[in-house]
Amino acid sequence: YKVDRSRVFLDVLDEMLTNERSSLKDIEERFVATVACKAAVKAGMDLSRQEVENLISSLLGLKNPYTCPHGRPTTIKIDIH
């Protein structure tokens, strides 16, 4: 999958300018969270088998694989019934 780097840059810049009174630590955390979310795999994207395996492997290595840095869920529940 491809990431629109220009869009990510503009979104991060907008986020930083919108919250100009924040501490440097808050700005850094929001920056990392925004870049991570913008570059993340989204629902409906087509992935190769290798990309899926890499994604699952990466998720399993996280302390909290269930939400993105902004708190949105990263997984869905699928019932077999």
For 27-75, write each residue's pLDDT tens digit: 788 788 878 877 788 878 889 999 999 989 998 998 988 988 778 888 8
Q: What pTM value is reported for the model? A: 0.54
- Ordered by start, the domain boundaries in the chain are 1-81
Mapping DSSP onto H, E and C, the string for the chain reads CCCCHHHHHHHHHHHHHHCCCCCHHHHHHHHHHHHHHHHCCCCCCCCCHHHHHHHHHHHHCCCCCCECCCCCECCCCCCCC
